Amino acid sequence: MKKTLLVIFYLIFSTIETFGQNWTFEEKTFIKGQVSGTITKGYLFKISSEAFYEIIESTRQRVRERNPGVTIYTDGSNYKLEIAGFDEPVICRKIRNVLESTIDGEFKGWDGSTIFKLTNGQIWQQSEYAYIYHYAYRPAVTIYQSKDGIKMKVEDVDEIIAVKKIK
């Protein structure tokens, strides 16, 4: 019985260890801009090659880095980002078809059903309840399809909000 348990333990342990070794090097680069605040699942990174990555696994790290270096690994479907200044790597997915624009005029945050007019002529509306106050004039925005719906990231705001397109 002890030998059977030892064999089972060994198989489980070696499988877990092998799982962690399936990452292959993709590139060494840097993240554009400042990464600051509490970084959690759903956070979006833009790297120097203009590619975007969204954190898909639970993490909670408090960081403040400007243009941090990043080493990217892939297992074929997900990506592991080792970022300078982070306590641990983050597991991400690569985001495609990202819309980048700017809020047309003043931005004061969101309050439940906020309308966002962009300089490209599109109009988006907040589609989940949340409240945040942050003043900025013509901040950059990034809109992308997440696993949880369409999300919008506003420059210098840590939180990400769900949105729907109106026009």
Residues of 48-63 as b/e, b for ≥16 C-beta within 10 angstroms? eeebbbbbbeebebeb
Can you give the pTM of this predicted structure? 0.78
The token pair at 112 is 């439940």
26 & 70 share domain: yes
| Pair 126, 78 in one domain | no
Give the domain range for residue 138.
Answer: 99-165
- Assigned domain for 13 exists: no
Amino acid at 48: S
Whether residue 156 sits in one domain with residue 110: yes
Residue 75 falls inside a structural domain: yes
Note whether 86 and 108 are same-domain residues: no
Are residues 108 and 158 both part of a single domain?
Answer: yes
The closest alpha carbon to 117, from 107, 104, 100, belongs to 104
Classify residue 149: in a domain, yes or no.
yes
| Closest to 154 (Cα-Cα) out of 145, 167, 163 | 163
Q: What's the pLDDT score for residue 99?
A: 96
Contact between 166 and 125 (Cβ < 8 Å): yes
Question: Last residue of a domain, which of 65, 95, 125?
Answer: 95
d(CA 24, CA 26): 6
Question: Do 89 and 26 share a domain, yes or no?
Answer: yes
pLDDT tens for 23-80 read: 999 999 999 888 888 888 888 889 999 999 999 999 898 888 999 999 999 999 999 9
